[in-house]
Chain A
Amino acid sequence: MAEVLTEFSTALSGAVEAGGRYTVRIEARRRLPASGVIWSPDGVILTAHHVVEWDSNITIGLPDGRAVPAHLVGRDPATDLAVLRLDAAASSGSLVAAPLNGDEHLRVGHLVLALGRPGRTVQATLGIVSALGQAWRTMGGGEIDRYLQTDTAMYPGFSGGPLVDAAGRVLGINSSALLRGISLTVPVSTVRRLAETLLAHGHVPRGHLGVKVQPVRLPSASAAQLGQDTGVLLLSVEPGSPAERGGLLLGDTIVTLDGQPIRDIDDLMAILTGDRVGSSVSVRVLRGGEVRDLTAVVGDRG
């Protein structure tokens, strides 16, 4: 028995050691430093958006003990990810890029480690994969390819650090800000996609109308006429927003966008994708019980 336990313990410390080679400290806020992951050997660092308060004068604590300057490349509050880059001179030297686990074989119950480096040394907590699920959308409208929840404890400063597997490979970036009180991980596939977009554009384009909405039940006559039971009511319309320029008014209920039925907020978010920024969309609203057709040009929230 003790032999198995010793083997287990050795394997865990091996995974932490492997993960520690690419887990860095991020000093970009007044409070406790947070954690990040070396994404490429030329100095790209991935971390959580909410731990990066400054755009420049950022310091990265590398695994070899050096503290080097870095700057913000781009951030996406909706998925709580940020991309940093080491300043040119600092990136020379041996940076170990994180090996990634595309997570196709991940199952509920698998042992995982959350790593962080809020101080000089790497820290680790052990847990299991608690739940795996479908793609989901964050409160801010960010698309996450897969729901990944663990029971690892997220110690202060662990945000932005990696979730790693038995071999010390990255399964995703941990965030304590996406859902409070639950240890959630943004999976590698989403991180990779967002990193590419942020490196290319500095932000993630997302369609935007400039309204606040709430799902509402339609009056029965309108529901019968339109063939749907619900729509989204405009609770506010920002001055100068795409919605205002398109003639939408407070109190309108959007029932279709670009010809697609809008029954709830998710329907609306699903249509307002980044590739629609700048394009015209038809908007059908209910106003005072009457159907009106308007047109709006989708803005960029990014």
Chain B
Amino acid sequence: MLNVIEQLNDDLSRVIEGVWRSLVQIRNGVGTGAGTVWHSDGLIVTNAHVLGARGLSVVLSDGRALPARVLAADRAHDVAALAVDVSGLPTISLGDSRRLTPGQWVIAVGHPWGVTGAATAGIVTGAGRALAEMPGPDREWIATDLHLRPGHSGGPLVDSGGHLVGINTIMAGPNVGLAVPTHVIVRFLHQALGSRASADGSTVRAA
């Protein structure tokens, strides 16, 4: 029988390999951020702070580089929706970010310091609005013990089943990595994109 660590190794590597398929690079003319494919018809979510003043391009997991346009951006919640002209993209299943509890295992995948697809694992420190010393009044966050670095921004934070629970956003102090919860992104997409988001949001499971 496999030792428990070997079983965990298999699960961890399989989850990360699944996440890679819907992880993209976002180039803003200055640096590289990360993004997550939300819908197979080319809808990608990322952080608003990843958007630069200049032209955006997206590099898909299969290596294709495509120009991207901004559909909507919400600076207050640091989320943005991008569109690339392509279909059949691999999407990621959505998790229930409202039910995250401290101690749950999470994995952040992105391009820290330009290392493509690098993964880091840790636990949820806290989730919701009632967290001390978080940026932005009354904002909802997922706080983790992950060390997020330049290049992580906009990339997926997944739970132990590989379901998207948030997008990695910023550090609060030296040891707390913050992600915008998936349900905040769902709300943003519905408000910003209206009927289009309904169609795009069809992958959202009842939460």
Contacts and interface: CB of A to CB of B under 8 A. Distances in A.
Interface of A: 4, 7-8, 11-12, 15, 107-111, 127-131, 133, 149, 151, 166-167, 181-182
- In order of increasing CB-CB distance, the 6 nearest A-B pairs are A109-B12, A166-B5, A109-B13, A107-B13, A151-B120, A131-B118
Nearest to A7: B4
Given A151-B119, A151-B147, 8 more contacts: A107-B17, A109-B16, A109-B17, A109-B119, A111-B12, A131-B117, A166-B3, A167-B3
Contact of B121 (A107, A109, A166): A109
A110 B12 contact: yes
Interface of B: 3-6, 8-9, 12-17, 107, 113, 115-122, 147
B16 A12 contact: no
Contact of A111 (B8, B15, B122): B8
Given A108-B13, A109-B15, A111-B12, A128 B5 contact: no
Contacts of A182: 113, 115
8 contacts: A12-B5, A109-B107, A127-B120, A128-B119, A131-B116, A151-B119, A151-B122, A166-B6
Contacts, number: 68
- By secondary structure, the A interface counts as mixed
A149 B4 contact: no
Nearest to B111: A131
Contacts of A110: 9, 12-13
A182 B120 CA distance: 12
B3 A130 contact: no
A8 B8 contact: yes
Contacts of A167: 3
A127 to B, nearest CB: 7
Nearest to A6: B4
A14 B6 CA distance: 14
Given A8-B8, A11-B3, A127 B121 contact: yes
A129 B118 CA distance: 9
Contacts of B121: 109, 127-128, 151
Contacts of B17: 107-109
A178 B117 CA distance: 20
